[in-house]
Amino acid sequence: MTTQETIQLFDKYVIANYGRLPRVIVKGEGNYLFDADGNKILDMFPGWAVSGIGHCHPRVVEAIRKQAGELLHIDNTFYNEKQGILASMLSERGFGGKCFFCNSGAEANEAAMKLARKYTAEGKYKFITTEGSFHGRTYATVTATAQPKYHEGFLPMLPGFEYVPFNDVEALQRAFSDEVAAVMVEPIQGEGGINVATPEFMHTIRELCDAHGAAMILDEVQTGMGRTGKWFGYQHFDVEPDIISMAKALGGGMAIGGIMAKPEVAKALVPGTHASTFGGNPIACAAGIAVIEAIEQDNLLQNAVQMGEYAIEKIEALKQKHEIIDHVRSKGLMIGIQLTGPGAAIVDKCLEKGLRINCTQQTVLRFMPSMTVTRDQLDTALEILDTVLTEGSEE
């Protein structure tokens, strides 16, 4: 089937709720994609951060193959070995919490919010989230997402949500009351433009939650699983949340999400209070185990730190050359290049030259390469960006 034939098939039969790039991807390998026309694309935004250790990592592929020959699915009225192992591995690398598994980041955030309300005292129903956040597309999570553009056409949103500016300590203090069940924030806003939380903001959330009997939920859907150089984003802030949500890179390409909650919080979810039919299925959990093993055996946390520093050094050099680059925000391999103008055309031109990046908030170029990225690959990516910016300035 040709590229045009596939696109025509989509146009006729697939709901057009995505803005799709005009490529049909047929293969992924490491940090590269290959399309149906034989083009090779250097992928610096793999699967919207899902392929955190690259496309089709051999350890993940082998774990899936092996598990697929033994047990594809079993419902959660039984135990399955892989789910327990994955939960223990996450707990040991986190804060010693207990896990619940589902299929996506939105589902994970839904579970986190339900758990917070179930755990906290009766009468606590409010959630505080931050402007510029992104927590998912289900009704509760899109309500939690404090960006009006995601609410358009879906009003009224769910009651009980209040929004404060990100990193605004005084606004957070004013918004707090004994009716608050939880504060939910991203340690680093991804879709919001790679905005890094301040230590003061994170510690104030912890202090206010403790003072008012509320839960601190950290959305670690993008920051979890090592991309920032630590297993979880909260570990940069010397603060411990009550609940974190996870997804994206957790399954190395397999659909899996989850939460981790302190044991005293987790016990609020008893049989019948929450569930996910496919959550924690053996294949997704086998993939998650392989992801953790690959990260540790290949020292990918260290690589994320080193390659992140290297990329920033190169981008700062580009900033001296191109006025459109205002500044850079980053933590590990979560990198946002703040532009002085729109970035969509830059992303399109980079793709034409074989580089995939992303633009968010209209003016932020987002690089989130896999943790296996090399210096040579970063050099190639930033040389392409340099060329595109140079051509743009000459037009």
Instruction: Tell me if 134 is assigned to a ligand binding site.
Output: yes
Catalytically annotated residue among 219, 314, 331, 367: 219
Instruction: Tell me if 88 is assigned to a ligand binding site.
Output: no
One-letter amino acid at 106 equals A
Burial 195-220 (b: 16+ CB within 10 A, else e): bbbeeebbebbbebbeebebbbbbbb
Instruction: Tell me if 106 is assigned to a ligand binding site.
Output: yes
Catalytically annotated residue among 100, 127, 134, 161: 134
Instruction: Tell me if 219 is assigned to a ligand binding site.
Output: yes
Instruction: Tell me if 96 is assigned to a ligand binding site.
Output: no
Catalytically annotated residue among 98, 126, 230, 248: 248
| 82 belongs to the catalytic site | no
| 248 belongs to the catalytic site | yes
| 219 belongs to the catalytic site | yes
Instruction: Tell me if 105 is assigned to a ligand binding site.
Output: yes
Annotated binding site for N(2)-acetyl-L-ornithine: 137, 276
Annotated binding site: 105-106, 134, 137, 219-222, 276-277
Annotated binding site for pyridoxal 5'-phosphate: 105-106, 134, 219-222, 277
Residues with a catalytic annotation lie at 134, 219, 248
